[in-house]
Amino acid sequence: MSFPDLSKIPAIDKLGVEERVSRFCKRSIKNAAKKHGLHLALSMIDLTTLEGKDTEEKVKRLCYKAGHLHGSLEGLPNVAAVCVYPNFVRVAKKELEGSGINVASVSTAFPSGQSTLEVKLSDTKFAVEEGADEVDMVISRGKFLSGEYNFVYDEIATVKEVCGKAHLKVILETGELDTLDNVRKASDIAMYAGADFIKTSTGKISPASTMPVTFVMLNAIKDYYKATGIKIGMKPAGGISTAKIALQYLVMLKETLGNDWMNKDLFRFGASSLANDVLMQLEKQESGIYQSVDYFSKD
């Protein structure tokens, strides 16, 4: 795709967005629909560990959790992926072999993005060679905020080439973009540069994902689909810690993009703590009793 015509991007009505989002949060969800939504949310989660204190053992524990979430519950789906730093991709790949759970890796000097293109490409190439099914890159926010939009576009397009068959999720770090208009502009640049997914945040700064930001990005995806016929995925990440909030996101997703996007191939949650709350809600639906939060593993 060629560089988008940024002059044609519609201005964002912040109050209008907030009003629309407030309606999604007021939708009543019946029990059968809630159970379906909880199963769907679980299948869309990328379990993640991205800390300086990560070890092989911690990654192995997270992979074990990813494959053993069900407990006493029958018929639960697997999570979508486990996301780790590039140096742990091989460990995760081995632990998840045969599970159907993807391995995602961050790259491009995550989370700051402050490095040379050479380093970023090397970072990405290493993750892919180690076996990453998905790559979560960060854009150069400093360049974007300086108005160097072609630089951001070219960098994403070059990383996409290195990804090969691995799917590319482009993290905008929306908490640093200041305005919803910037979020929309960055979304368009990322999609036209070759993103398979656009993602809100690294989870390392506040605010991370918010519903207004996600709504703007969903509408960018809708307009891109109308213009190109290509479906782009969406991943809100950071701050989505409860099943109630996740269901509100799914209501927003369905009413904005429709049923075609209601699957893990086109929507993900970057929120490891969400898995435990979803499991608690499902246990409650089955038994009528809330389990203690300590009943579920944290890693």
The two beta strands, 197-199 and 81-84, are unpaired
Of the listed 65, 160, 185, 199, which one is catalytic? 199
Count other Cβ atoms within 10 Å, centred on residue 122.
Answer: 16
Exactly one of 46, 65, 123, 136 is catalytic; which is it?
136
Question: Checking DSSP bridges between strand 233-235 and strand 167-171, what pairing results, if any?
Answer: unpaired
65 catalytic, yes or no? no
Contact 124/165 with Cβ under 8 angstroms? no
What order of strands is seen across the sheet that includes strand 233-235?
46-48, 81-84, 102-106, 134-138, 167-171, 197-199, 233-235
Please state, in angstroms and rounded to a whole number, the distance separating the CA atoms of residues 155 and 197: 16
Pairing of strands 81-84, 134-138: unpaired
Residues near 175 by Cβ (< 8 Å), separated by ≥ 6?
201, 205, 206, 207, 208
The answer to whether 8 is a known catalytic residue is no
**Both structure tokens of 260:** 């075609």
Query: Residue 84 gets which letter from DSSP?
Result: E
235 is catalytic: yes
Positions marked active-site: 136, 199, 235
